[in-house]
Amino acid sequence: MQLLLLTAGLGLLSVLGAQGPQLTPAHAQELVGRWHIKLWAGTLRIPAHKRSHPLPPFTLAMNRLQKLEFRMNLTKPIGCVLYKLPLDFQSSPGIFNTWWRHLIYISFLPGKEHAIAYFQVKVDTINHYMMMLMGRSLDEDPEAVRTFEEFAESKGLNRTDIARPPPLEACELPPDS
């Protein structure tokens, strides 16, 4: 099953690259730093009122085990909570594995200031997927937006299905977190 997902994901990225700008599979060390979720879309069931909910920036960092780790500070009723998700490197660049065994594909757009992250999961015999356009800054880039819209359309979504969450400053955690 993982081999099938890998083949389909790599095939999709190569087809998208032939239609638009060349996407470059991301190496873990190149992803380290602060990122903003600029756009996202998917087929998972998410209530409409949450689709445009503001999202804080996130950080990709190397943890003590030398794994790439997704980190996002979330504001909850109990206070600020740090969410962490380690990502194992796969044998091919741009492919990462979560502890839930979800494969996440991350590819840079030209210039490496923006990237597209994509994953697919099977729920009740139906393939669902999520994708996001992530950027190193909040600056607008019409070419990156166009590329992401084309990517979403290649997965059967309409441009109106794309969420454009406003930025939200993350809550601060103590330095020892």
pTM (2 d.p.): 0.82
Q: Is residue 176 part of a domain?
A: no
> Which of 37, 33, 47, 70 has its CA nearest to residue 166?
37
Q: Is residue 166 part of a domain?
A: no
Which CATH number is 131's domain given?
Answer: 2.40.128.20
pLDDT digits (tens, 9 = 90+) for 51-105: 888 999 999 999 999 999 999 998 888 888 999 999 998 778 999 998 888 899 9
Q: Is residue 123 part of a domain?
A: yes
Q: Is residue 168 part of a domain?
A: no
pLDDT band for position 43 (cuts 50, 70, 90): confident
Neighbours of 97 (CB within 10 A): 16
Structure tokens at 159: 């441009």
Cα angle for residues 120, 4, 108 (degrees, 5° grid): 55
176 pLDDT higher than 70: no
Query: 113: which DSSP letter?
Result: S
Q: Is residue 88 part of a domain?
A: yes
pLDDT band for position 126 (cuts 50, 70, 90): confident
The total domain count for the chain is 1
Q: Is residue 175 part of a domain?
A: no
Whether the Cβ atoms of residue 42 and residue 129 lie closer than 8 Å to each other: yes
